[in-house]
Homo-oligomer: A and B are copies of this chain.
Amino acid sequence: MKNEQMVRQRLLTAALDLFVRKGYAATTVREIVAAAGVSKPTLYYYFTNKEGIYLEMMTRTFALFQGIVDQISDSHGPARERIIHFATMIFDSVLENIEVVRLIYAIFFGPPQGTPHFPHDHYFTTMLAVIANMAQEGMDAGEFRKVEVDDVAWTIVSSMNTIMEEQICHVPPRADRARLMSMLNLYLDGIAVGKRT
């Protein structure tokens, strides 16, 4: 059982590396098994085919994200702290899974690569909804001014999105976790009730 998990993980790691370096379309099953040091039937046994590896990768990654969303949805406290906490957790998770994030962006923005359908847009849609929800709670609680909640959600998700993109596109990134926190804190100061420095 332990061995099974190791073999699965070796195949996933090898495939991810190839998908990122060469592109999904250009990667063959032969290259994946060679890099993982296993036989073709082993790959077929665990994942059926290249599509199966890709979908497992995407499903696992989305589950990690969903775990963060569930955690924040169950949390209590000031909206400001919860928003900052959510953004921090997402950012840290992106850094920990930077190669799969790179692949998701390549699939999402790149040319058609023959990948099976996966609803990558759910990340963005869910983040918008989570932030909008917290922003609305902050307004209802008198923590934020009564402003257009969609403006708040889009601006915060835009900052998260762009700073994540910077981690995959620029070496070294010109904006990091500290910059994102500083951007969000300044933004939340701007919509806070009464606060002004």
Please state the number of chain copies in the assembly.
2
User: Quick check: is A44 within 8 A (CB to CB) of the other chain?
Assistant: no
Stretch binding the partner chain, chosen from A52-60, A86-94, A102-110: A102-110
Stretch binding the partner chain, chosen from A6-14, A28-36, A72-80, A158-166: A158-166
Residues from chain B with a CB closer than 8 A to the CB of A111 are 19-20, 22-26, 106, 110, 113
User: Quick check: is A147 within 8 A (CB to CB) of the other chain?
Assistant: yes
A interface, size bucket: 35 or more
Give chain B nearest CB distance to A164 CB in angstroms.
Answer: 10
User: Quick check: is A152 within 8 A (CB to CB) of the other chain?
Assistant: yes
Give chain B nearest CB distance to A25 CB in angstroms.
Answer: 8
Give chain B nearest CB distance to A61 CB in angstroms.
Answer: 17
Interface of A is mostly: helix
Closest-by-CB residue of B relative to A23 is B111
User: Quick check: is A137 within 8 A (CB to CB) of the other chain?
Assistant: no
- Among B25, B108, B150, B154, the residue within 8 A (CB) of A159 is B154
Residues from chain B with a CB closer than 8 A to the CB of A183 are 151, 154-155, 158
User: Quick check: is A196 within 8 A (CB to CB) of the other chain?
Assistant: yes
CA distance A183 to B143 in the complex (A): 19
CA distance A141 to B25 in the complex (A): 54
Residues from chain B with a CB closer than 8 A to the CB of A155 are 155, 158-159, 183, 186-187
Question: Given A111-B22, A189-B190, does the pair A157, B151 have CB atoms closer than 8 Å?
Answer: no
Q: Report yes or no: A109 in contact with B110, Cβ–Cβ below 8 A.
A: yes
CA distance A157 to B162 in the complex (A): 8
Per-residue CB contact flags for chain A residues 39-72 toward chain B (1 = under 8 Å, else 0) read 0000000000000000000000000000000000
- Among B105, B112, B191, the residue within 8 A (CB) of A109 is B105
